[in-house]
Amino acid sequence: KPTDFFTKNNINAKFQFTGEVIHMIKQDFIFIITVLIGKELVKVIADDDEAKSIKIGDKVLIASKAFNPVIQKIG
């Protein structure tokens, strides 16, 4: 399958993008993480558990099955 060739992530989602974290800011009990995907900036909300392993410069996978995006560090 093409998805097996182009990605090694085993996440079942409607969409998946990879990008680089360029900014993180904590607001109250969540983090707003800005990710550069191609030439576009995407802001993703993450909780403490998701954000604690991510830092600026990390390559991440952004995936969503319904309306709840998931951010995951790659490598």
- 3 has pLDDT over 80: no
Which pLDDT does position 64 carry in this prediction?
78
Spatial distance between the Cα atoms of 26 and 10, rounded to a whole number of angstroms: 29
Mention the CATH class of domain 2-73.
Answer: mainly beta
Spatial distance between the Cα atoms of 59 and 67, rounded to a whole number of angstroms: 22
Each residue of 24-75: pLDDT tens digit?
Answer: 999 999 999 999 999 999 999 999 999 999 999 999 998 877 767 778 888 7
What are the boundaries of each domain within the chain? 2-73
Which pLDDT does position 13 carry in this prediction?
55
